[in-house]
Structure 1
Amino acid sequence: MTLFDLALKNIRRNIKIYGLYIGSTIFSIIIYFTFAMLKHSDDISGLAETSKQMQAVMSASAFVLMIFVAIFILYSNSFFMKKRKKEVALYSLLGVRKRSIGFLLFFENIVIGLIALVIGVGLGFLLSQALLSLLLKLMGLSLSVGFAFSMQAVIETVVVFFLIFLVTSLLGYRVIYKFKLIDLFHAEKKGEAQPKARIFSALIGVLALAGAYWLALQDLMTSSAWRVLGLAMPLVIIGLTVLGSYLLFSSVLVYILNLLKKSKNWAWKGLNLMTSSQLLYRIRGNAKTLTIIATLSATTITAGGAIFGTYYNTEKNVEELVPFSFMWEGEEQDIDPGLIEDKLSFEAKEVIVEGEIYDEAYSVIDKNAFQNLAEALDWDIDNMELEQDEAIVVEPYFDERWQEQPETIDLTDDVKKVEAFYDKPLFNIPTLPGTTVVVNDTAFEEIDGEKANYQAVQIEDYKSHLDLSKELEAKTENFSSAVQNYQASIESSGAMLFVGGFLGLVFLVATGSIIFFKMMTEAEEDKDKYTVLYKIGVSKKEMKKTVRYQVGLIFLAPLVLGLMHGTVALMAFSNLLQMNLWEPVTIWMAAYTMIYILYYMVTVRGFNKTITQAVTQEG
């Protein structure tokens, strides 16, 4: 029998042991091939203007995905090899040469890789068709999607994963020469280094997190911290967050668990003493892993929440910048009267005021036009009479963080007192950008400026009238349209939501899998302890209860910390863009938490199954 035959026989015999590794490998191939299929899709390439943006986003995301998938498979492989080291030691003990054992592991890994590639590419092809339809729907595009197979995507996926499998196979080969025989027998019992809990470290961790949160919530425009740190500010925030997270796990939680162990009222109830001791070991041993998971969770929540928030508010943002369905310069156009809700015609003058640094352009209208426009937009305005030296100012770009409301306005040596001020657009920004000044009829006629006639139209359900918008655009000048602005925004934000959501799901599955691998490894290590507990009279119900508590804290700690980091980051993002993101962010966080809870339930079930089988065999 050749080594290759033996490798195939091993895989068939140990399919349960291999199953977890094969599953994670297939998942990695599916997500990468799906992304590659979308990147090379003719439907995406045919989106003209959107194509360039999508290709750039897809290419950058594919590179990030490739790095992440490589790390994920290497981690899965290390977990798999840890379970195989005892088997490798037995081969050595029976006299099999290290070189032969190395080739055996090499062949096994290559075969697993080939099986995973075939399955992953097949499932990825089917998934890519569904995801392409989802992408086009998110982008607001009604295109028919046919089944298209990209050979370029297949070649790219095969090359990437062949290199990854080659590296993991060589690492498996290296295991034989790196460890002594006794080390291989006890490989499963080796954990991560256990940092000591110190009050000073715990205090530093809390202060680091508090400092990171405080810096993150500082206003970009007015904060002295931003002026001092400049572009280094994000790096400082990230550094403090990672440091604070690590010290929180390695010191703060360890300190709290030690206090619980010393509490007689709590420690001597049921298996609480054992639970706290086990948690103490796991938190200390997995501090680095939990820090990475919390950081990845925060990154996923922040990026996904920001992108989803932008997509969620697309319509609102469009209506704020383009309040009228259509606006153009020139004469009226024929539009089906049944569609029209409001139709206004008004005159505006452009006044250029020379300044020391730059010239200021104002759009000046009379009070009657202002009232008609404001009523069409459902503004709550005071019906005031304007004197010759009075004016109303509308500044759509006003930001109180670095601007003050003007008390007067200078229109070419004609200074007028500002009686009312509004900080939202009265016109469609693309047609009439900048500041609008409202004066009485007499003052409007006297102002020296170039007069132009404008039309503003509101129609029902503007998003479904793209053809009408394009028809009007062809016949008018200085045209702006809510539907075209919405379409462009939804295409851009929809593509970003798809990519962000896809990568976020990958990160979520990867972080959940890492905890799952960790817990299943520790379940194998702890099953002898639970067998002893069962023999001295501890019920299976009590053992399952302590498992739920232990696994729960390992899942809950990085999740809660990730949610805290993400909340602070999204608050900073919301303040920067002056957007209300609470509703979409809450939805995003709830979805993230629900998927995490599913991983927790699967892990608890797997842990309980491992110890139950061990207890049953001994019993």
Structure 2
Amino acid sequence: MSLLDLTLRNVRRNFRLYSVYLFSMITGVLIYFTFSSLMYNEDILNALKARQNFQTGVTIASVVIFLFIVFFILYANSFFMRQRKKEFGMYLLYGMSEKQVTLMIFYETLTIGAVSLAAGILLGGLLSKLFGMLLMNLMDYEQAVSLSFPLEAVGSTAGVFLLLAVIISIQSFFMVRRVQLIDLFHAKARSEKPVAVSAPWAILSAAMLAASYLLLASGKGSVMWQDYTSASLIACTIGIIAGTYLFFRQFAGWLLRLVSRRKGYHEGNTVLWTAALRFQIRGNTLNLSFISLFSTVLIMLMCFVSINYTVQFQAVGQNLPNDVAFEAQDPALPDRLALLMEEEGHPVKKHRTLEALETEPVTSLDTAFENPEYYLPKVLLVSQSAYNEIAAMRGDGQSVQLQGKQAAALAQGSDFPQRYPSGGEPPFRVNAQTETSFTLVEKKDYALLGWATDPASSMLKKPAVLVVSDEAYRELAGKAPHRTFHLYQIGNAKGAEKLSEKLHAAVTETPGAYYSSFADVYSRQIEGSSLMLFSGAFLALIALFALASVIYFKQLREATEARPSFTILRKMGVEQRQMKSVIRKQLLFVFLPPLALGLMNSGLIIKTYIVDSVKDYPNISALVWGTLGAYFLLYALLYLSSSSLYYKIASGRTA
């Protein structure tokens, strides 16, 4: 019998065992081909404004997806190698060389890979159309997406999985080579020893996690995060990682030891599920720590991309509140550009003129504006009445009341907007022929003019604007240069890219003139956030699949090893209901702590670094809770399915 015949016979004989492996491979091919084929779909590429950025982003995401696929396929292969060690031992005993066994495994991998490739590409082609339509919908584009099987995507997918087959064969070769023949026959007879636990180490793990959570809960506006940012970040990282490891290595064992010493321990089935867990701590520590930390990163990723996408639709409008705004030194320019807007199909809905005084800042800009490098160097003074009139027209309730030399800084994008307490207002000095000192009573996260833009590079810099009292404005009006800005709201502002090119060319005939357009930023921001959400969702999908594979194969191995013990219990008269209860409690102790730690870690980090920064946007908290709830639900379903599978294998009800 040739190696190829033996390979085909093994696949047919072990089809039930290989069905899980085949499903994993098909899913991997499907996800990879679906994602990579989008990069070559001409319908999608023709609809995008930033085509090159899209292809670059998809390429990077494809590499990450490939690494995830390699991870869980190698993990699955490692499980199957352990399950078949006795079979390989027989082959070696009958005279086959390690090279021949490895070549047989390579043939098996190619056989399964060929089936997976055909099925995965076929299903992936169908899904790519669905996901392409979803991507267009996320970007708010009305673009039809055709069904396609790009040759570039087919070739890259086939190449990737051929490389994976080689990697699997190399892994299999080293696993067979480093184990002695006698070990192959007794591979399943090994048992783990319980870990020695101590109360001080267990308490230390809880203290490290608690200290990290308290530091995170203090918020990034606290003294620790403001004055000791790097130290706080390092302390939280070490506390969460080391605390999680020690939690599963020491605290879990210590807790089980406490349970074993309480009265009534030998009553019911407590002794059955706790005894098994104490022997599994050593082998489960790394797995459970990995699941907790991986869950943290995964939830953070999904929350970040979801919040980023949700916020972008409103953030563009907040950063560029005027559909078109420009500075006009030629009195005839506004009428000429308004006529151009009408001709291009973007009629003027509202028009407002804003007068401002240009001054030189004497005080450092970072006193009134965060990240001063994003601002134009001059400071514009706007009167309270002019500002309040525009704020009232927008209906956003952002009016101010100022007197004397009081001023309010319009620090759009500020993470820490605030109204200063009486007696604690910082001074801000400007030069308009003579120096004038204002008292800052408020720093507002508000855009009056918005970012300066151009059609080619989108956002440039934003004007630094101080709102001052009417009397202070009148006092300085004869000393500082005047600048006149025209603010427009137009029809179909989202689709005004071509109009913006013409407007920008006309305005910038005057060097240094301010120009801002909503359309210059909207399409790029929405495309970027949509691609980030789409890529993040794909990465989360493959990451969840990898995580489920780790849990699934771990439980599959432990259930197989526990089968003799459950057989003895059944002969001793333990009822089926009690066996199910033991399994549910045992797995709950394995599933619940990683889930709780993952949700706690990610929830606090998201609140501190994301939610608190965008708390003015509606529905953000609901979005975060929805993401946490969805992850909890998926994890609960995984727990229930694992419990059912564990019982079937341990009780011998499935082959």
Q: Please classify the TM superposition score into its range, dividing by the shorter chain length.
A: 0.7 to 0.9
Does the aligned pair in 2 maintain the 1:294–1:561 contact within 8 Å?
yes
Cα deviation for residue 390 of structure 1 reads 5.6
Counterpart Cα distance in 2 of 1:450 and 1:86: 89
Counterpart Cα distance in 2 of 1:372 and 1:37: 52
Q: Which moved more, 1:526-535 or 1:471-480?
A: 471-480
Who is 1:471 aligned against?
A: 499
Is 1:351–2:359 an aligned residue pair? yes
CA RMSD, Structure 1 to Structure 2 (Å): 3.5
Who is 2:481 aligned against?
A: 450
Distance 1:62 1:554, change over 3 A: same
TM-superposition CA deviations, 1:139-193 (whole Å, max 9, x none): 2222221223222222222222212211212333444443233321222344677
Does the aligned pair in 2 maintain the 1:201–1:251 contact within 8 Å?
yes
Who is 2:470 aligned against?
A: 440
Counterpart Cα distance in 2 of 1:293 and 1:390: 55
Who is 1:536 aligned against?
A: 572
Distance 1:300 1:342, change over 3 A: same
Is 1:410–2:430 an aligned residue pair? yes
Please, which of 293, 308, 311 is the counterpart of residue 309 of structure 2?
Answer: 311
Does the aligned pair in 1 maintain the 2:387–2:467 contact within 8 Å?
no
Q: Which moved more, 1:402-411 or 1:122-131?
A: 402-411
Q: Which moved more, 1:529-538 or 1:90-99?
A: 90-99
Distance 1:317 1:487, change over 3 A: same
Is 1:396–2:412 an aligned residue pair? yes
Is 1:500–2:536 an aligned residue pair? yes
Counterpart Cα distance in 2 of 1:574 and 1:97: 57
Please, which of 577, 586, 595 is the counterpart of residue 550 of structure 1?
Answer: 586
Does the aligned pair in 1 maintain the 2:323–2:493 contact within 8 Å?
no
Counterpart Cα distance in 1 of 2:352 and 2:314: 22
Cα deviation for residue 466 of structure 1 reads 2.6
TM-score normalised by structure 2 residue count: 0.83
Cα deviation for residue 8 of structure 1 reads 0.6
Helix, strand or coil at the partner of 2:354: strand
Letter paired with 2:599: L
Who is 1:376 aligned against?
A: 393
TM-score normalised by structure 1 residue count: 0.87
Does the aligned pair in 1 maintain the 2:318–2:447 contact within 8 Å?
no
TM-superposition CA deviations, 1:288-338 (whole Å, max 9, x none): 111111111111111221121111222332233223444333426367899
- Aligned positions of 1:52-63 closer than 5 A: 52-63=52-63
Counterpart Cα distance in 2 of 1:499 and 1:392: 41
Counterpart Cα distance in 2 of 1:278 and 1:549: 11
Is 1:275–2:273 an aligned residue pair? yes
Counterpart Cα distance in 2 of 1:95 and 1:472: 77
Distance 1:578 1:45, change over 3 A: same
Is 1:600–2:639 an aligned residue pair? yes
Counterpart Cα distance in 2 of 1:426 and 1:101: 69
Who is 1:299 aligned against?
A: 297
Does the aligned pair in 2 maintain the 1:327–1:480 contact within 8 Å?
yes
Q: What is the aligned length?
A: 610
Who is 2:561 aligned against?
A: 525
Helix, strand or coil at the partner of 1:313: helix
Q: Which moved more, 1:294-303 or 1:427-436?
A: 427-436
TM-superposition CA deviations, 1:459-493 (whole Å, max 9, x none): 7xx7x543457536634634434455333322111
Q: Which moved more, 1:56-65 or 1:72-81?
A: 56-65
TM-superposition CA deviations, 1:489-508 (whole Å, max 9, x none): 22111111111111112111
Does the aligned pair in 1 maintain the 2:135–2:534 contact within 8 Å?
yes
Cα deviation for residue 386 of structure 1 reads 5.0
Letter paired with 1:554: V
Counterpart Cα distance in 2 of 1:312 and 1:564: 23
Who is 2:458 aligned against?
A: none
Letter paired with 1:347: E
Distance 1:399 1:237, change over 3 A: closer
Does the aligned pair in 2 maintain the 1:110–1:166 contact within 8 Å?
no
Cα deviation for residue 515 of structure 1 reads 0.6
Letter paired with 2:136: L
Letter paired with 1:454: F
Does the aligned pair in 2 maintain the 1:354–1:360 contact within 8 Å?
no
Counterpart Cα distance in 1 of 2:98 and 2:361: 85
Helix, strand or coil at the partner of 2:468: strand
Please, which of 415, 421, 426 is the counterpart of residue 442 of structure 2?
Answer: 421
Distance 1:471 1:356, change over 3 A: closer
Give aligned-pair identity as a percent: 26
Distance 1:568 1:421, change over 3 A: closer
Counterpart Cα distance in 2 of 1:49 and 1:214: 45
Is 1:35–2:42 an aligned residue pair? no
Does the aligned pair in 1 maintain the 2:49–2:524 contact within 8 Å?
no
TM-superposition CA deviations, 1:248-289 (whole Å, max 9, x none): 011111111111122223x23421110111222233321111
Distance 1:195 1:135, change over 3 A: farther
Counterpart Cα distance in 2 of 1:303 and 1:204: 29
Does the aligned pair in 2 maintain the 1:196–1:250 contact within 8 Å?
no
Does the aligned pair in 2 maintain the 1:226–1:233 contact within 8 Å?
no
Counterpart Cα distance in 2 of 1:382 and 1:31: 51
- Aligned positions of 1:55-204 closer than 5 A: 55-93=55-93, 100-190=100-190, 195-204=195-204
Counterpart Cα distance in 2 of 1:100 and 1:409: 83
Q: Which moved more, 1:411-420 or 1:11-20?
A: 411-420
Structure 2 gap ranges (5+) = 329-333, 366-371, 453-461, 508-513
Letter paired with 1:410: V
Distance 1:212 1:53, change over 3 A: farther
- Aligned positions of 1:317-332 closer than 5 A: 317-330=315-328, 331=334
Helix, strand or coil at the partner of 1:323: coil
Q: Which moved more, 1:27-36 or 1:424-433?
A: 424-433
Distance 1:601 1:369, change over 3 A: same
Q: Which moved more, 1:169-178 or 1:255-264?
A: 169-178
Letter paired with 2:596: V
Distance 1:26 1:409, change over 3 A: same
Q: Which moved more, 1:439-448 or 1:602-611?
A: 439-448
Does the aligned pair in 1 maintain the 2:360–2:430 contact within 8 Å?
no
TM-superposition CA deviations, 1:56-92 (whole Å, max 9, x none): 3222222222222212111110001111112223344
Q: Which moved more, 1:428-437 or 1:307-316?
A: 428-437
TM-superposition CA deviations, 1:401-449 (whole Å, max 9, x none): 9997445653522536548535032513125621233342771673333
Counterpart Cα distance in 2 of 1:408 and 1:101: 79
Does the aligned pair in 2 maintain the 1:194–1:285 contact within 8 Å?
no
Q: Which moved more, 1:378-387 or 1:162-171?
A: 378-387
Counterpart Cα distance in 1 of 2:280 and 2:349: 65
Does the aligned pair in 1 maintain the 2:411–2:445 contact within 8 Å?
yes
Distance 1:47 1:227, change over 3 A: farther
Counterpart Cα distance in 2 of 1:310 and 1:249: 34
Structure 1 gap ranges (5+) = none
Counterpart Cα distance in 2 of 1:355 and 1:416: 9
Counterpart Cα distance in 2 of 1:613 and 1:176: 28
Cα deviation for residue 124 of structure 1 reads 2.1
Helix, strand or coil at the partner of 2:50: helix
Helix, strand or coil at the partner of 1:184: helix
